[in-house]
Structure 1
Amino acid sequence: MNIEKILQEELNLKEFQVVNTIKLIDDGNTIPFIARYRKEMTGNMSDVILREFYDRLNYLRNLKNRKEDVLRLIDEMGKLSDEIKIGIKKAKTIQEVEDIYAPFKPKKRTRATIAKEKGLESLAIDILNYRIKDVKIDARRYINEEKGVNSEDEAIKGALDIIAEIISEDAHIRKIIRRIALNEGLIISRGVKDEKSVYEMYYSYSENIKTMAPHRILAVNRGEKEKYLKVKIELPDENILEKIKSKYIKEANSEVSRYIEESIEDAYKRLIFPSIEREIRNNLTEKAHERAIKVFGENIKKLLLQPPVKDSVVMGFDPAYRTGCKIAVVDKNGKLLDTATIYPTEPQNDIQGSKKVLIELINKYGVDIIAIGNGTASRESEIFVASLIKEIDKEVKYIIVNEAGASVYSASSLANEEHPNVNVSLRGAISIARRLQDPLAELVKIEPKHIGVGQYQHDVNQKRLSEVLNGVVEDSVNSVGVDLNSASYSLLEYVSGISKSIAKNIVLYREEIGNFKSREELKKVKRLGPATFVQCAGFLRISDSQNPLDNTGVHPESYDVCRKLLEKLEYTLNDVKCRNIKDIDDKVKEIGIDNLSKELNVGIPTLIDIINEIKKPGRDPREENMKPIFRSDVLKIEDIKEGMILKGTVRNVVDFGAFVDIGIKNDGLVHKSQMSDKFVKDPMEIVSVGDIVDVVVIGIDIEKKKVSLSMKGI
C-alpha cells in the first residue's frame, strides 16, 4: 500500500508536503518544532493538521504491518490464494483485514470445530456446494459412534453448524451487513428502573445509527453501565437474510436449499448479528470518544491560553463548608505572602470574623483581585466576598476561577516541593490565585485530564485522552513561549524536545550557576545535546539577554538571516530591544517580500515570522485574547428576568451548546440552536472557553435552577 499517496488524498496535501513531513517526523522532530520552524518543508501545515497527519500515519503503518502479518500467517498455512491477496491489498481498515483473516484464525472450541473433529466437514462442504441431492441418505455415511455421531440427524446438525460458521466468517457478507447496519440500523434504549434520573429521555428511545450524535451515544452508554437502560441495535433482518441467501442459495425450493437456509438463519442470529452489534457499538463508542476527547482538548487549549492577569496582588479563595474556606495571598510574581482559613459558610457562618481576617490581609498586602474557586460553596463565598467589597475603601474586584485540578495539585509531589511548609489544604488556594495570574504556567503542573471541561471525559479511553491532551498542552506552551529564567520544570518539560529530566537539569543549572545569559548557554546544561537544542531553543525566551533576538520566537538558526534583514531595512539589534522597529511593513512592501526572500535566501513563511517577531520582542500572544470579567457584586437567579441582556464568560462548550457564567450560582445554557440565525453544527465554530459574550435570558426554571440563554439578535 502506498501510505504517502493515501495521506496526500485524504488530507488534500501535495506530494512534497507528505514526503517532507514523514521525514521530519521520522527524524525525531516534535510537532511544535515542525509547525513553527519547518513551514517551507511542510507547506505551512498547522499544528492541528500535523497532529492529524501524525495519527493517520501511525494508523496506516499499523494497517500495512497487519496486512503483511496476515499474508504471512495464511501463507504459512498453505492457504494463501490470489483472491485473498487481492482482498487484503484492497482492505482500507484493520477491521477489513481481520474479517479476511477470521476463517484462518486459531479458534476456541465451537460447535463447528467440534463437528469438524467428528469428521463432518466434507458433508458440510458437499451440502454448501450442492454436490448431493438427498442430504439424509448422504449423512448416513458419517454415522460413527466412536466419534460421537450416532444418527443421520446428528451428522446433519454438525454439518449445518460448520456451514453456519463458514457463512458467519464470509468477509464479503460481513461488509454488506455492516454497510446496511450503518445506513439503516437503529439504536434502541429502554428504561429498566421505574425512577427519575438524568437518563429519562432514553427510557423509550430510538434513533438511526448514522444520525446519533456522539454525546447521546456516550449518555446511553453511561445509562447502560449504571443499569438505568437496556440498549440494543435493531437491523432490517429480513433484508439482510435475503442478501445472504442471494449468495448461498442456488436452487430454489430444493431440499439442500432448505438446509442451507436453516444454516443462514442460525449464522445470522447466533454468530453474525451479535458480532456486528458489538462491532458497531464499539465503533460508535470509539468515534464518540474521539469527539469527546477533541471537545475536551479544544476547551483545555482555550483555558490554557486565557490572558494572564499581570501586575496584580491576588487573593486565592478556595471555598468550602464545614472545613472552612482556604485563603492564600500571592504577590505580583506569584510568590506566596500569607495564608488563612475562614468560616463564612455553613455550618459556622462566621461572617464578621471572616471579614475581619480578609480586610486585614487586603490592607496589609494591597490585594487587587480576589480569585474564587468555582467548586463547592462557590456562590455562597461569592455573596460573602461581594458584601465584603462594599465595606472597604480600597478598590477590589473579584472573579470566579475554574478550580479543576486544584486539589490534585495540592497533594502532588510538585506542590510539596514548591510549598513544603504549607499545609496541603491551603495549597489549592495558592493554585487558584496563580492560575489567574498565569493560567498556562500554573495549569501545566496538573495532569491535563484533571484541568479541563468537556463532556463524558471520564468515560473515554484514558490512554488516548492523555495522548491528545499532552499534545494540546505541548502545542499551547510552545505557541506562547517560555521564560527560561523563571519557568518551573513542570512548564519546561512541555517545551519542544525537553524531557522531564532535562527540564530538571535546566532548573538545577539556574540554581547552581545563576540565570541564563543567552540561549547559547543552554548547551552547557547536562544531557541537553545539539539535537535537543535545535528543537527547544526557539521556544525559550531570555528577557535580559545581550542579544534581543533571544527574547523572540526567531530561532538561533535564523539569527544571521535576521541580522541581514535588519541591516537591509536600516535597523539595528538595539532597535529590536527598544521596540523601535517602526514602518517595517512599509519598507518590506516597498522592496517586496519575494525579492527579500530571494536576496536573503530564506523561505517566505520563515521571513514573515521573523518580521512579526522583531516587531514585538517578548510578545505574549495570549494578551490578544479576551480579558476576563471582574465583578464587584453578585446576582441571584431571582434577580434574573426574561429579556434581560447580560454579559457572561463561556465556561464549557459541548456538542449541544455552551454553558455561560452570567454571575448566578449555576451557569446558563446557550443551546446551539440559539447561537446564530444560521444552522450551527458545531458550537465550537461560534464560541470558545473563556470568550466574553452578550446573552439574552429566554427562559428561567427557578425549581431546577436553570436559565436558558440566547445569543441571537444581540
Structure 2
Amino acid sequence: MSQSAKNNTTAQDKIENGDQEAIIKQIAKELSLSLKQVRTTVQLLDEGNTIPFIARYRKEMTGELDENQLRDIEERNQYLRNLEERKQEVIRIIAEQGKLSDQLEADIRKAVKLQEVEDLYRPYRQKRKTRASVAKEKGLEPLAEWLLSQPKQDDPLTEASTYIDSEKGVESAEDALQGAMDIVAEMIADEAATRTWVRQYTMDQGAIVSEAKSPDEESVYEMYYSYREPAKKIPSHRILAINRGEREDVLKVSLDVEAERIYRYIAGRWIQGQSKTEEILHTVIEDAYKRLIASSIEREVRAELTEKAESQAISIFAGNLRSLLLQPPVRGKHVLGVDPAYRTGCKLAVVDDTGKLLEVAVTYPTPPNNKKREAGAKFHELMDKYAISLIVIGNGTASRETEQFVAEVITERKDNDLAYLIVNEAGASVYSASKLAQEEFPDLDVAERSAVSIARRLQDPLAELVKIEPKAIGVGQYQHDVSQKHLDESLKTVVESAVNHVGVDVNTASPSLLSYVSGVNATIAKNIVKFREENGKFTSRKQLQKVPRLGAKTYEQCIGFLRIPEGKDPLDRTPIHPESYDVVNRLFDELRVELGQLGSKELADKLSALEPEMLATQLGVGVPTLRDILDSLQRPGRDPREELPLPIFRTDVLKIEDLVPGMELQGTVRNVIDFGAFVDIGIKNDGLVHISQLSNGFVKHPMDVVSVGDNVTVWVLNIDLKKGRVGLTMRKPNQSNS
C-alpha cells in the first residue's frame, strides 16, 4: 500500500460516514465533478490503488478522470479529512473546558479552512503567561466585563478603585484599569471574526516593503534595496527572492498596511456608541492591534504568500521535470560522452547504442594543459574504433572551450553524420558520487562515471535521470527556498507519472527505474533485478508473481506498466493489462486473426477500422478500456516519447560576439520560469525569452507556450557583452511592436 493510501486510510478511520460523504460533496463541488466520480476515486485510493493504475486501468469506474484530476481529489480528500480530524479535536478540548456552546460548535463544524478552525480555537488555547492572564489572576476579569458593558454614567476610575488589593498586586485604580484593559485587548485580538477581517484586509490592502540593511554594499538583491509592491499582486518569484534576501540578512522586510481603517472596523464591532468607557476602548483597540494582532497577522499573511509562492515554484519545477524526463531517446548511435574540466582534464566515456560502457579515457585539450594535439588523436582513435556518430558534452566548467575543440575535431574529420550536443549535466556529479553509481561502476572514478551519465542521458533521458535525486536536476526556480518535503513529494509524483506513462522493460530496467513503477517500492525493485540475475530474463509477465514480496495487489498495480519485448506472449510487450487478455482473445477470434500478426500493417489496418462503441458491448468491456486496447494493439511496443522532435545537433561553435540584433537562430528550451524561458542557442549562457516576447498575444504563463526540450525559432533582441547576456524573442521582428 502506498504512503498516501495509508494516510488516507488512517484519517478515514477517525471520520464518520456522514462526514466523509460531506467531504465528497465538497470536493465534487470544488472540482466540478460528479459525486460518483469522487466517491469511486476515494474508494479506489483507500483500497491501495495507485493513481497511475486508476488513471490507466479504471477509466470506466472514474468516468475517465486523468492523473491531474485524480491527484486533485486525493489532495483535497486528505486535507479535508485532516481538517475534520482537527475540528473533532478542538471541539473535544473546548468541551472539556466546559466552554463549548451550541453556536461555537456549529461555527467550528462549518469551517472550510484550517485557519478558520484555529481562529475559533484561539481564545481557548492554553497560552503562555500574558499581561491579560496576569490581570485575570488578580481578579480583574469582572472589571474588564464592566468596561465592555459601556456604562453611560459611572466613572471608570471610581469603578476601578473597588478592585484595589495590595495582596493581589493591585496598588491603585490606575493599575486595576490597566489590567482590565489588557484583558479586553486580548479578547479583541482573539476574536475570530476580527482576525479574519484584518487578515483579509491586510492581504488586499497591504504592501510588501523591503530595504537594505547595508545600502552601500553590493549584492544580487539590489533591486530590493528600496522596494514596495502590493501583497496581493507580488509575483511568486519575487516573494521567494525577498525571503532569501531576508534570510541571508541582506534585506529588512515588512508588511505595511494603513491602520486607521482597521481601527475603525474593530471599533464598529466592539463600541456600541457614546459611553463613559468609549475613549478607553479606543485606546484598547489601538493597543490590541499594535501589540497583539498586527505582528501575528503579518506573519500569517507572509506565510500564506510564501506558501503560494512555494506551490508555484514547485509546480514550475514539476512541469519542467516532466518535460525533461519525457525527452525523446536518441537511439541507434554510439555516443562519446565528455565531462569537461580544466586542470584535471576532460573525462571521456564511450557507450554503445544500448548504453553499455565500452571504454573510458582522459584528455587535456583545455587550459592550463592545452594538449590539443594529443587530445585530438585520442578522439579520432575512439571515433574510428567505435564508429561514433555523436559527441555529448556536459555544460559545466570548461564546457565552451571543450565545445570549440570538439567542433575543430569534427571539421578535421569531415564526417557528414558526425555532430555534437551540449546537455545539461545538472545532477551528474550527484549521481557519480552516489552509492548506486559505485555499485554500477566500481572501477571508475567520479568524473568517469559522470561522463557515462552524460552520454546515457541523451540515449534514454528517463532511464538515466531517475537515478538522480529529482531536485538536483536543476530545471526549476528557487527550488532550494521551498519546503523540501513538499518539493520531494511533488517531484517523486512527476517521476512516477513519467515512468508509468512510458512503461518499463523489465529485463533491462535498473532498480532505480523499477522503484517508480506503480505499486513497486525500492525493496521489490531490487528483488525483481535479483530474480532476473539469478534466473535469466523474464519471458512472461506471470513470472513476476514469483518475485519475493511482489504480492497479488502489487502485481495488479504494476504489471500493466512492465513490458517484456521478447516475451512468449506478444501481449506482454504492450500496455494492455493481463486482466484484459481475455478481451483481446475474444476480439482476435471475432476478427479471425492470430496473436502472431501483432505489429503487422494488415492487423493495424483492421483494428483502426473498428468502432469501439459498437464492439464494447459485444466483448463485455467498457468503451474507454477497449479504445486503449485497440490503440495498444495497433502500435505494440510504442514509446510515446518518440513522437517528440529530437534535440538540435550542432557541428560548429557560435560565440556571443557573432550575434547581431535580428539574427534568426534555432534553440532548445532549457528552463521555463515565471517570467520567461531560457533557450540554448549554442553560446556559453542560455538566452532569455521574456514572457512578453513569447507570443504576439497575451501569455498568462510561459508554460502555456513552451516546455523544456522544445526546439524553437528565436531572434536576437539585445546583447550585453559585459554581462554575457542575450535577450531573445519568439515574435518575428516584422511582427514585434516597437
Alignment of 1:145-544 (within 5 A): 145-193=166-214, 194-252=216-274, 254-394=275-415, 395-544=417-566
Partner SS for 1:143: coil
Report the more deviating stretch, 357-366 or 634-643.
Answer: 357-366
Instruction: Please tell me the residue identity of whatever aligns with 1:115.
Output: A
Instruction: Please tell me the residue identity of whatever aligns with 1:544.
Output: E
Partner SS for 1:458: helix
| Aligned 8 A contact 1:636 1:665 in 2 | yes
Residue of structure 1 equivalent to 2:646: 627
Deviation track 1:641-670 (CA, whole Å, cap 9, x = no partner) reads: 111110000000001000000000010100
Partner SS for 1:512: helix
Report the more deviating stretch, 318-327 or 281-290.
Answer: 318-327
Deviation track 1:114-135 (CA, whole Å, cap 9, x = no partner) reads: 1111111111121122257211
| Aligned 8 A contact 1:579 1:616 in 2 | no
Q: Distance in 2 between matches of 1:503 and 1:649?
A: 34
1:426 to partner: Cα distance: 1.3
| Aligned 8 A contact 1:579 1:617 in 2 | no
| Aligned 8 A contact 2:392 2:454 in 1 | yes
Partner of residue 96 from structure 1, selected from 116, 119, 136? 116
Unaligned runs of 5+ in 2: 1-18, 734-738
Partner SS for 1:571: coil
Q: Distance in 2 between matches of 1:329 and 1:689?
A: 27
| Aligned 8 A contact 1:251 1:257 in 2 | yes
Deviation track 1:73-93 (CA, whole Å, cap 9, x = no partner) reads: 111111001221121122111
| Aligned 8 A contact 2:339 2:447 in 1 | no
1:153 to partner: Cα distance: 1.0
Instruction: Please tell me the residue identity of whatever aligns with 2:28.
Output: Q
1:585 to partner: Cα distance: 5.2
- 1:695 paired with 2:714, answer yes
Partner of residue 709 from structure 1, selected from 728, 732, 735? 728
Alignment of 1:507-586 (within 5 A): 507-578=529-600, 580-584=602-606
Residue of structure 2 equivalent to 1:118: 138
| Aligned 8 A contact 1:569 1:587 in 2 | no
| Aligned 8 A contact 2:674 2:702 in 1 | yes
Q: Distance in 2 between matches of 1:393 and 1:635?
A: 19
Residue of structure 1 equivalent to 2:632: 613
1:578 to partner: Cα distance: 4.2
Instruction: Please tell me the residue identity of whatever aligns with 1:288.
Output: A
Partner of residue 665 from structure 1, selected from 676, 684, 687? 684
Partner of residue 106 from structure 1, selected from 126, 129, 141? 126
| Aligned 8 A contact 2:607 2:634 in 1 | no
| Aligned 8 A contact 2:539 2:568 in 1 | yes
- 1:646 paired with 2:668, answer no
Partner SS for 1:689: coil
Report the more deviating stretch, 201-210 or 70-79.
Answer: 201-210
Partner of residue 163 from structure 2, selected from 135, 142, 161? 142
| Aligned 8 A contact 1:124 1:163 in 2 | yes
Q: Distance in 1 between matches of 2:603 and 2:205?
A: 63
4+ residue runs over 3 A deviation: 577-580
1:389 to partner: Cα distance: 1.1
Report the more deviating stretch, 93-102 or 82-91.
Answer: 82-91
Distance 1:662 1:234, change over 3 A: same
Q: Distance in 1 between matches of 2:317 and 2:101?
A: 47
Provide the TM-score with structure 1 as the length reference: 0.98
Q: Distance in 1 between matches of 2:685 and 2:447?
A: 25
| Aligned 8 A contact 1:303 1:452 in 2 | no
Deviation track 1:22-66 (CA, whole Å, cap 9, x = no partner) reads: 000000001110111111111111112212221111111111111
1:570 to partner: Cα distance: 3.5
Partner SS for 1:211: coil
Instruction: Please tell me the residue identity of whatever aligns with 2:389.
Output: D
Deviation track 1:83-122 (CA, whole Å, cap 9, x = no partner) reads: 2112112211101100000000000011111111111111
Q: Distance in 1 between matches of 2:262 and 2:644?
A: 54
1:541 to partner: Cα distance: 0.5
Instruction: Please tell me the residue identity of whatever aligns with 2:726.
Output: V
Alignment of 1:21-40 (within 5 A): 21-40=41-60
Deviation track 1:225-280 (CA, whole Å, cap 9, x = no partner) reads: 1222211111121111100000111133x331111111100110111110110000
Q: Distance in 2 between matches of 1:545 and 1:470?
A: 30
1:353 to partner: Cα distance: 2.1
Kindly tell me the number of residue pairs found equivalent between the two proteins: 710
Instruction: Please tell me the residue identity of whatever aligns with 2:392.
Output: A
- 1:83 paired with 2:103, answer yes
Residue of structure 2 equivalent to 1:127: 147
Instruction: Please tell me the residue identity of whatever aligns with 1:622.
Output: R
Q: Distance in 1 between matches of 2:438 and 2:475?
A: 26
Residue of structure 2 equivalent to 1:51: 71
Q: Distance in 2 between matches of 1:237 and 1:305?
A: 52
Residue of structure 1 equivalent to 2:85: 65
Q: Distance in 1 between matches of 2:508 and 2:342?
A: 36
1:586 to partner: Cα distance: 5.0
1:322 to partner: Cα distance: 2.1
Instruction: Please tell me the residue identity of whatever aligns with 2:147.
Output: I
Instruction: Please tell me the residue identity of whatever aligns with 1:235.
Output: V
Q: Distance in 2 between matches of 1:570 and 1:256?
A: 95
Partner SS for 2:568: coil
Report the more deviating stretch, 440-449 or 117-126.
Answer: 117-126
Deviation track 1:394-444 (CA, whole Å, cap 9, x = no partner) reads: 442110111111111111111111011111221111111111110000111
- 1:593 paired with 2:612, answer yes
